[in-house]
Structure 1
């Protein structure tokens, strides 16, 4: 999903989605409908700690969803809960001229609608493969892993001619590491140790609006 950004650009804000922009993990919400939430949570936790390769872990989790009816996606979209302060952070950033992006190891089918309502400019995420109205247990297209998140940040920076000093990236897991390292300001939000150790700022929450002062500083660079 891409929205045309008009006007002068102050900086680039890139955020992870699961457990950062949202309080939940999207694939776990879907897995609950398949009766495999416990198994999926276990794999997710290990992947976010950096103990498993993200792409392999995602394929393993999606495989557990095979046969699920795609109608559950609407039910999952209906129960999404943005992290406190997330929508206000986007509102302030947009008002101040920031380009905003969600870059997620989650799924377009779930997060695009919320992103559009929130005024997000760009979304990059995975897609479920669905055939005849049911999950096939596979991911459609390239997997958005840590390297893909970093590449997306760099592509947007080139597109809008934004220097690293004016880029803020936020995340919580090991697959956000490369993205945070590529940003002038990398923010670990309620994050796993693998991310905390390389972040420029560590926020404990509960509000994502705690990131706003860091955007103000970056915007003046």
Structure 2
């Protein structure tokens, strides 16, 4: 989701809001490049958010989110093609749910931040962490639920924690990705907008325009 469907890294926006932007940005960069374990880095970053008023904070962050060019067009086209869509994010449920609603995505999985009785973030998460292996598990779970073959699945991502999912899908696409991810992904898109992915389905330019039309 982050830096893929939307232009921002949500954890960095949260950190900036909390006044710990520089600390968190460096951890995020190293995690996305595969230099740090994702779960450990997430715990370190989330811990710095302790004490923030949850509802007010997420409202402020939602107001700053911008969708990547071609994101709305891509999701419109996929829906018209009869595809089922999911966002599997290492970000957070309140923001991933907003993206899901705005883009009309069928399924959403993300990390849940713990909130205390006063409505403030505790600096911890609840439930399963959506790390790289979890994204792979969710892909396989959805494949079974939808009832398609793994060869009929497409996964898209830009960070090191997306690689297990990208390597498992019928087609894994690194889009505007970190160098490590580009090297190891089955397919990559380095230029263009998100809806340029539709050409990987073998569609003509005319068909792409037709499917993306509002």
TM-score normalized by the length of structure 2: 0.91
Deviation larger for 53-62 or 131-140: 131-140
Alignment of 1:84 onto 2:76: no
Alignment of 1:170 onto 2:170: no
Candidates 60, 72, 75, aligned match of 2:44: 60
Write the distance in 1 (CA, Å) between the matches of 2:36 and 2:168.
22
The structure with the greater share of residues assigned to strand is 1
**4+ residue segments displaced more than 3 Å:** none
SS of the residue aligned with 1:18?
A: coil
Query: How many residue pairs are counted as aligned between the two chains?
Result: 201
CA RMSD of aligned residues (A): 1.1
Question: Structure 1 stretches of 5 or more lacking a match?
Answer: 1-16
Report the Cα offset of residue 125 of structure 1. 0.4
CA contact (8 A) 2:89 2:96 kept: no
Q: How does 1:148-187 map to 2 (within 5 A)?
A: 148-187=134-173
Relative contact order: is structure 1 or structure 2 higher (C-alpha 8 Å, sep ≥ 6)? 1
CA contact (8 A) 1:77 1:111 kept: no
Report the Cα offset of residue 164 of structure 1. 1.9
Report the Cα offset of residue 194 of structure 1. 2.1
TM-score normalized by the length of structure 1: 0.88
SS of the residue aligned with 2:181?
A: helix
CA contact (8 A) 2:87 2:96 kept: no
Q: How does 1:24-173 map to 2 (within 5 A)?
A: 24-70=8-54, 71-131=56-116, 132-173=118-159
Report the Cα offset of residue 216 of structure 1. 4.4
